[in-house]
Amino acid sequence: MDAYRDQYAKLFKNGQGVVLIAISADPDTALASWARDSEFPFLFASDTGTIVARRFGALADRPGMTNRNLFVVGPDGRIAYRATPFREVDPSAYTELGAAIEKAVGRF
């Protein structure tokens, strides 16, 4: 999540026309504390029942755990890009993500 925070202005256009929502199986109180302490400029959503994780195929092999998947949803509500799993330690993954966002929402 630190990489998303650190690249937020570039990748997510400081939130102009782009909404970043990090969804986790962690409780909302833990997510709120983490987001505040780490000064994340984007939204968090809690999926403790793993309903969203199941719907998007993000359940891990261990109960209650999820994979780090990433989806870009275009203005039309359709998934425009998926990285399952997202390779957060691979710098080229962020280049691909930036290109997918540009393609989905256009240049600002």
What predicted TM-score, i.e. pTM, was given to this entire model?
A: 0.78
Which range of residues forms the domain containing residue 48? 2-105
Q: What number is the average pLDDT over the span 45-62?
A: 88
CATH number, domain containing residue 71: 3.40.30.10
Q: What number is the average pLDDT over the span 53-80?
A: 84
Q: What number is the average pLDDT over the span 20-32?
A: 91
Count up the domains in the chain and report the number. 1
pLDDT for res 108: 42
pLDDT band at 107 (very low <50, low <70, confident <90, very high): low
pLDDT for res 76: 85
DSSP string, the chain: -HHHHHTHHHHSGGGSS---EEEESS-HHHHHHHHHHHT--SEEEE-TT-HHHHHTT-B-SSTT-B---EEEE-TTSSEEEEESS--TT-HHHHHHHHHHHHHHH---
